[in-house]
Amino acid sequence: MTSAESVLDALITGNTRFREGLSSPKPWQSANDYADQNPIAIILGCSDARVPVEIIFDQGPGDLFVIRVAGNIVAPSQIGSVEFAALQFQVPLVVVMGHTRCGAIDATLQHMQNSEDHATDNLKSIVDRIAPSMTSVVEANTSGDQESLAYHCMRANVRASVNQLKHGSSELEGLTEAGQLQIRGAYYDLDSGSVHFFD
């Protein structure tokens, strides 16, 4: 089985190629080439159109098992998707990836700072999952700098999602404790094109 460290290196190298405009060509292949999938990593990312996961890591079809949802939140369906890929494909690495200037983070901040904000029920279900991770960051903020606040809230939300994946599933918890799976946080910088991985 490929190690999480070697997969992480492949993702970092692919992101470097992407940033330098040296992404490798992905020629069309026949349907037979995609009869089986063998992803090297699971990425739980945001649905923002500016964060196309395979492209920013310079990976081809079948290389990544990608789950995208606004605010890279963790709900039962996301946990189930990660469990499926981790167990089915013995994938050694899960990356929870947020990004700068995230609309879901901004919507959550707006809702937290404005009691008159009336989000739709469905949007509120996303906001309600993000808000707890941001509460201490918002309460500690004294600068009034909304951009900096949103950045720190995004990072806190990624960390919360990592923690929910690690401890919200006995299957994933067992794999991580056995050293068969790593769950890492990261964020994509829309301005630089760089992916930054958390320790």
Burial class (CB in 10 A: 0-12, 13-18, 19+), 117: middle
78-125: per-residue pLDDT in tens? 999 999 999 999 999 999 999 999 999 999 999 888 877 777 888 889
pTM of the model: 0.92
Q: Where are the domains of the chain?
A: 4-20+38-197
Query: Domain 4-20+38-197, what architecture?
Result: 3-Layer(aba) Sandwich (3.40)
156-190: per-residue pLDDT in tens? 999 999 999 999 999 999 999 999 999 999 999 99
Phi-psi region of 77 (alpha: psi -120 to 50; beta: other; left: phi over 0): alpha
